[in-house]
Amino acid sequence: MRAQLCRRDVRACVHVLCACVVLFHFTCDFTDIPFSALHDMTHIFLSAVPRVAFSAALRESGSGNIGPFQTDTALKYAKVFTNIGSSYNPSTGIFTAMVKGVYYFRFTAFNNIDGTANTNIVLMKNTERTVSMWDKAGQDFNDSASTAVVLQLEVGDNVYVQLKSGTYVYDDLGFYNSFSGFLLFPITA
């Protein structure tokens, strides 16, 4: 229902803006349009566009390894910096699309393990693997990586970061592991 209302509101705002463009085209002079009317139309348009953005880190407190788990596990990013639209759930680590549209997602991963553990992390869209990062244990320490992807989502699609079984990440209050996403634009058709 919420998505339908947003689509209807966006369509109405587009019609209003088109009318403004036509009016401007015929007058060719902004002085004929009161500033307050332009301000009001812009405010209506911007308020109708859904706003969705979140950013979170793994730990709210403490430090240490996360993993290994016996099965692939969704990482729960507990330290929420921003959650506009409340689409990210820190209890599950899952972002759920409330608006059909195109979204940008990014995650970072870090480990400082003693050269004996691997890190393998995947960004999942529902049950579909999208982008991933992988680090094989070696003689080095303090490895970090990040990756990003643009995804088209339907209402109800879930996006989350999955730690593959038998692998680790490390985090502390430096917030080295993060998960972020935001709506680029809604799709109304």
Measured between its terminal Cα atoms, the distance across the chain in Å is 16
Number of domains into which the chain is organized: 2
**87 lies in the same domain as 139:** yes
State which of 30, 48, 66 marks the end of a domain: 48
Query: How many Cβ atoms sit within 10 Å of the Cβ of residue 13?
Result: 19
How does pLDDT run along the chain (189 residues), one tens digit per residue? 444 445 555 555 555 555 555 455 554 455 566 767 666 666 666 666 789 999 999 999 988 888 899 999 999 999 999 999 999 999 999 999 999 999 999 999 988 766 666 888 999 999 999 998 887 766 666 777 899 999 999 999 999 999 999 998 888 888 989 999 999 999 987
**35 lies in the same domain as 63:** no
**37 lies in the same domain as 121:** no
Dihedrals φ, ψ of 151, to 5°? -125, 145
pTM score, whole prediction: 0.75
**92 lies in the same domain as 141:** yes
**59 lies in the same domain as 137:** yes
Which amino acid, one-letter code, is at 58? L
Give the structural domain span for 19. 2-48
